Structures are given as structure tokens and as C-alpha cells.
Amino acid sequence: MPNRTDKTLAETRSELLTTFTDADWQSYNHLVKWLRDSNVPARALKVGDTAPDFLLPDADGRLHSSDQLRRNGPLVLSFFRGGWCPFCTAELCALQGAKDDFENVGATLAVITPETRHFPRELKQSLGLDLMVLADVDYGVAESYGVLFRVPDETKAHYSGLGFDFGARHGSLEWKLPIPATYVIDRDGQIRSAFVEPDFTIREEPAQILTSLRQAMSMS
């Protein structure tokens, strides 16, 4: 299990930002501006929309359907960028820490990565996660939720320079990433809460997700 800390994701974010190099800041500012200017977040599914169905393999190649995941209660679905991103790994550790709280209110938690092959398995092992990590092979689910974007060339150059080969990690020649997003979906497949943030350093706090879950449960 990852070390539980009392830090919020906002506090962890502040710490991680202090480690940014000039090149990191330049790339970060460019990508967030590009995403806002391109209006990518406007395409994302919103509260009240019907969540698209999916069938995805987990890190061990076992299939899970959305139908099955929300059979017994609401589903918390969180899109993250990959095991290479420190903001994602911080979020995953925070979600791992809150997993029992989600389950105690009858919810199921699944996180979705664009990474394939051994990468999701290795991520789970390295962070000691027992979360359900689903692999969005060829980006179909992120696309259907409207949270997918093609990585702009400047960002691609920056990440390549850091040694991140998304082609190998995703098993695709296209370099695409999801905007980090967290959805609460009720048993009928309706989206009850949507957190979509083009600034990839900002993630929904688990406490806020729990509040959304309780609201969703009280309305159903």
C-alpha cells in the first residue's frame, strides 16, 4: 500500500510545482493555454449526460464492463495521463487512500489510463495499488467522454526530451492524452458529478468525490 499522508492533492501539487525546471514551466504553461484556447474541456461530458458504455481490460488483461462496474452502486471513474506523470501518481495514491471510504458508501472506483502492455501492471506494483486500473486501449473511452486531445508538437517535443515515449506506452503512433477528469456515474448510467480540468496539475480531492457520491446516493 502507498504511504498515506494527510496532505491534500492541492498541497502535493504545490510541492511538485517547486520541482519544475524552466523547461517544465514553459511546457506546462503552453499546454494549459493551448487546451483552454482549443476549448477542449467544452467537449467533455457533463452532469446529466448519459455515460457511454465500455468494455476494457484491466492491468492483468481481465475484461470489465461499465455495466458490471455500476451494477451494485455508483461508479467513480477517473481518467489519468499515465504512470510517468507525478501529478497522476499522487492522485492515484490519494484515491487508493480513499478507496475504502468509497466502498463504504457502496461505490466502485476505477481509474483509466491510455497506457497498455506492461505499463499499468508495473504502475500498480511500483505504487503498491490495489485499484482497478483499466487500460483505454486506442483511446476509445476517453474519446467517447470527450476528454481526449492530440498532444501538440511543442508538448510532444518536451515529453520526448524527458524520455517519455507515448507511442511505446500507448501502443499507438498517435500521441494522444486525456485531460484528467473524474466522473461519478449512478447505477442508471447518468453522470452525477463531473470534474474536468485542463490544468493537469489540478485534480479532484477524494473528499470532494466522496461528497459527490453521497449526493448521488441521496438523489437515487
State the residue for C-alpha cell 476528454. 147
Beta strands of 43-107 (E only): which ranges?
A: 55-57, 63-65, 75-79
Of the pair 106, 167, the CB lying nearest other proteins is at: 167
**Which is nearest to 170 in space by CA: 209, 131, 210, 140?**
140
Residue 125 in grid coordinates: 506494483
Beta bridge partners of 182: 78, 195
Q: Examine residue 110 and tell whether it contacts other proteins (CB under 8 A).
A: no
Q: Which of residues 138-197 bind other proteins (CB under 8 A)?
A: 171
> In whole angstroms, how close is the CB of 68 to other proteins at the nearest point?
9
In this chain, which of 117, 126, 160, 215 binds other proteins, going by CB under 8 A? 117
Q: Examine residue 113 and tell whether it contacts other proteins (CB under 8 A).
A: no
Q: Examine residue 135 and tell whether it contacts other proteins (CB under 8 A).
A: yes
Segment contacting other proteins by CB under 8 A, of 24-32, 81-89, 117-125, 211-219: 117-125
d(CA 164, CA 85): 10
> In whole angstroms, how close is the CB of 55 to other proteins at the nearest point?
6
Beta bridge partners of 61: none
> In whole angstroms, how close is the CB of 216 to other proteins at the nearest point?
26
d(CA 179, CA 35): 9
In this chain, which of 27, 96, 116, 155 binds other proteins, going by CB under 8 A? 116
**Which is nearest to 209 in space by CA: 108, 102, 112?**
102
Q: Which of residues 47-76 bind other proteins (CB under 8 A)?
A: 55-63, 65
> In whole angstroms, how close is the CB of 117 to other proteins at the nearest point?
6
Maximum C-alpha span of the chain: 48
In this chain, which of 30, 43, 121, 214 binds other proteins, going by CB under 8 A? 121
Burial 163-186 (b: 16+ CB within 10 A, else e): ebebeebbeeeebbbbbbbbbbbb
Q: Which residues contribute to the site for other proteins (CB under 8 A)? A: 55-63, 65, 116-118, 120-121, 135, 137, 171
